[in-house]
Amino acid sequence: MGKRRYGIDEERIQKWIKDGRGKGELKTYQPWLTIHDIPSIGRVSRLKGDTTGRIHHVLSDIERGVCLALDAAKAVVDIREQFPLPREATIAIAAEMGVRHPKDGQVDIVMTTDFLVDVRTRGRVKQQAIAVKPASGLDDKRTIEKLEIERRYWLSQGVPWRITTDLELSFGSKMFGLWCHGMTSLEHHDAPTATYWVERSEQLLAVLEDAEIQPLRQLFGRLEAEHAFEPGDALTVIRHLLAIGRLQLTTNGSFAPRGSTAQFIMNLDAAEGLQANLGADAA
């Protein structure tokens, strides 16, 4: 009898199905695997998503970086991590390939895709499946076999599938995701009045629109001198405006705090969401 690695047996699988794991969308989605279910390479994390409004369970540092990047992408409208694939389908694909289906002991496990995301493109929402792996693991024959099962499944569903590795996830994009994460709303930031952050956001945008390109330190000094910004307010507002898409970067997701205002593009299409994201009492 094969030795179990994770303690996943048929009874546990059926319980997870009954509990609704792998079902739902946005806040109601439940990942097939949580950080409590299996050991992981790297640090496991529970990460609050701005896009979905729920806690995401990511099983490695690389998955955390990808989740942050997806959460910051304005085209992404839903993120489902640890998404289960139908066992009957993956077992059939493995048999067709002539390879072993993944098992825990003698039990065929439910294979998962690290992320299934909904992406809005030209007014339509399409799905994309993403496998996240360390680049060093792609030399392993067994890893490649399992990835090929996954690829063939999504091909049969007409869903684009790709692999993302730690080499493709740049330091700049990871840091930018961390910097803007949790900044879609400023309702929990201290403020002397209910409309404080709305006013600060509108003032910063107005100055950006009217002023010539200038160093950020000059912009911050003007806001403090002319609009009574407190030190740090301007950076807080910039993080918020980037998080909600009101501002966009021209530098491929790399923010330069010692750079100039040339790195920003104002996104007029996101203007309607400004007050809503600053808190219900701000309007």
- CA 80, 82, 87: angle at the middle one, nearest 5? 115
Q: What's phi and psi for 215, nearest 5 deg?
A: -60, 145
pLDDT 10s digits, 221-246:
899 999 999 888 888 899 889 888 88
Residues of the chain with pLDDT under 50: 1-4, 271-283
DSSP-derived secondary structure letter, 109:
P
- What is the pLDDT, as a whole number, of residue 96? 96
**Closest to 172 (Cα-Cα) out of 53, 263, 43:** 263
- The pLDDT value given to residue 268: 62
pLDDT at 192: 87
Residue 242: count other Cβ atoms within 10 Å of its Cβ.
21
Q: What residues have CB less than 8 Å from 100, skipping those under 6 apart? A: 94, 145
Residue 252 structure tokens: 């491929």
Complete domains list, the chain, with CATH: 10-179 (3.40.1350.10), 183-277 (1.10.10.10)
**Is residue 26 within 8 Å of 78, Cβ to Cβ?**
yes
pTM: 0.64
| Per-residue pLDDT, 5 | 55
